[in-house]
Amino acid sequence: MPRKPRISSASGLYHFIARGMNKKTLFHKHSDYKAFEDLMAEYLTKLDMRLYHYCLMPNHTHLLVSAVDVGLLSRFAHFVHRRYTYHYCRAYGWSEQLFNRRFRSIPIESDGYLLECGRYIERNPLKSNRVQDVGDYPYSSYGFYVVGAASAFITRNPMYDTFGRTEEERRQAYKAYLLTPRPYESLLDETISNYVPVDLVR
């Protein structure tokens, strides 16, 4: 059966979601997360992509990325997932498929959703009850925006500057935006969970 073409975003922005096969754990310790982050940094540069927000959960990943061509998403997934699988197999004696072959790429077409998507991504550890304070979760872009932590691979969300005139104002306003519950979050959850992945990673 032929694959349906992946939906292209006019803005070039996508919410990219990948999961472990059958919800398999992808990351067991700090060195696993670090290996994946290093691979992201390498292929974001090689493919001329940008990463605005991310969160690496134990059995899935959320990235908000910019790509000039939707086909770059498949190339990014192919190289990053394949090389991370090599790392995982060496570390844990695994010999089967690690990631689901299908990944999700949800087009982002508005400035409002650009912010909401970043917020959704960074709230994942809180919503899954992995932490009580989202700032305690180290494998996301939270620290880049709220604490000012340096990053070799995150590009600042252009909408972040709307949060204030100074860096401190922006950090505090963004933190409040991130932590304040919003009544329609369940609708966003439903939209993302029901979004059908239509392409296979080669």
- Here the CATH number for the domain that contains residue 162 is 3.30.70.1290
Spatial distance between the Cα atoms of 19 and 7, rounded to a whole number of angstroms: 19
Residue 141 has pLDDT above 50, yes or no: yes
Note whether residue 202 is domain-resident. Answer: no
Q: Give the domain extent around 75.
A: 13-194
Note whether residue 1 is domain-resident. Answer: no
pLDDT tens digits for range 51-94: 999 999 999 999 999 999 999 999 999 999 999 999 999 999 99
Per-residue CA distances from 14 to 89, 109, 141 (Å): 29, 9, 16
Note whether residue 7 is domain-resident. Answer: no
Residues 6+ apart with CB under 8 A from 60: 17, 18, 19, 20, 26
Tally the domains of the chain: 1
Percent of the chain as helix, strand, coil, to the nearest 5? 50, 15, 35
User: What value does the mean pLDDT take over residues 123-147?
Assistant: 93
Note whether residue 200 is domain-resident. Answer: no
Do the Cβ atoms of 73 and 105 come closer than 8 Å?
Answer: yes
E-assigned strand segments in 58-191: 60-66, 104-108
Note whether residue 112 is domain-resident. Answer: yes
Q: Which one has a higher pLDDT value, 154 or 192? A: 154
Note whether residue 119 is domain-resident. Answer: yes
Q: Which one has a higher pLDDT value, 44 or 184? A: 44
Residue 149 has pLDDT above 80, yes or no: yes
Residue 182 has pLDDT above 80, yes or no: no
- The reported pLDDT for the residue numbered 139 is 97
Do the Cβ atoms of 103 and 26 come closer than 8 Å?
Answer: no
Task: Look up residue 192 and give its two tokens.
Answer: 């993302």
Any idea what DSSP says for residue 201? -
Note whether residue 6 is domain-resident. Answer: no
Residue 94: half-sphere exposure toward Cβ, Cα within 13 Å: 18
Residue 168 has pLDDT above 90, yes or no: yes
- The reported pLDDT for the residue numbered 187 is 59
Report the predicted TM-score, pTM, of the whole model to 2 decimal places.
0.89
pLDDT tens digits for range 186-202: 656 666 665 544 333 32
Note whether residue 3 is domain-resident. Answer: no
Task: Grade residue 4 by pLDDT with cuts at 50, 70 and 90.
Answer: low
SS3 for 51? Answer: strand
Do the Cβ atoms of 64 and 108 come closer than 8 Å?
Answer: yes
CA proximity to 64, closest of 125, 137, 136, 12: 12
User: What value does the mean pLDDT take over residues 34-45?
Assistant: 98
